[in-house]
Amino acid sequence: MDVKIEPSWKQALQSEFDKPYFAQLTDFVRSEYRQYTVYPPGSLIFNAFNACPLPNVKVVLIGQDPYHEPGQAHGLCFSVNDGVPFPPSLLNIFKELNTDLGVPIPTSGNLLRWAHQGVLLLNATLTVREHQAGSHQNRGWERFTDAVISLLSQQCEGLVFILWGSYAQSKAPLIDGSRHLILRSAHPSPLSAYRGFFGNHHFTLTNDYLKKHGKEPIKW
């Protein structure tokens, strides 16, 4: 299958695109876009990959679903478009960033600035129906994104995988902890942020690890 995605990812993932499950997933997604309002816009489904080519990846931040309200999702986990109010989890991420590194709370929740430095902002499910969280789960996206995580673990060295919350932590068995740093904590949502997300110092720990491995730290 010919998928419109950044060339380094296209080459690395072509074997996934050619599998029967991906054709079935594509048929389902196309049908959903025809019948319903689905996020993100179709041209941005692979935005996380297009903004962060495979050779550039230094950090992998794993989310679950795209935001499902109008104007929010643009293909990067936890990120929203410029001018969109911060969802609660994103605001808590910025609060921890401020506490950890002293970075002022940003004026925009658009995390493309992270992606362009090598942070792959990967949702496990890449599409969602409007107002219906989880509506595109268990249709094939997770198989695809699990393959992405496994590929990164096997083909790269010295990455940082950031797993916030139990769902993201369920992906840890796909990652070789002897070759990469795995950071785990509670999720930044208001329901759990005070149970171990705040004070996790993951931004500092990430940059310390990158520097130790001769990589440029992220300007969070």
Catalytic residues: 65
- Three-class secondary structure of residue 119 per DSSP: strand
**In terms of C-beta density within 10 A (0-12 exposed, 13-18 middle, 19 or more buried), how is residue 151 classed?**
middle
Q: How far apart are CA 7 and CA 190, in angstroms?
A: 38
Helix (H, G, I), strand (E, B) or coil at 182: strand
Burial profile 163-191: b = 16 or more Cβ within 10 angstroms, e = fewer: bbbeebbebeebbbeeebbbbbbbbbeee
Phi and psi at 16, nearest 5°, equal: -70, -45
Contact between 70 and 121 (Cβ < 8 Å): no
Contact 97, 119 (CB under 8 A): no
Tokens linked to 68: 């499902």
How far apart (Å, rounded) are the C-alpha atoms in residues 181 and 161?
A: 6
> Measuring CA to CA, how many Å separate 218 from each of 48, 91, 102?
16, 19, 14
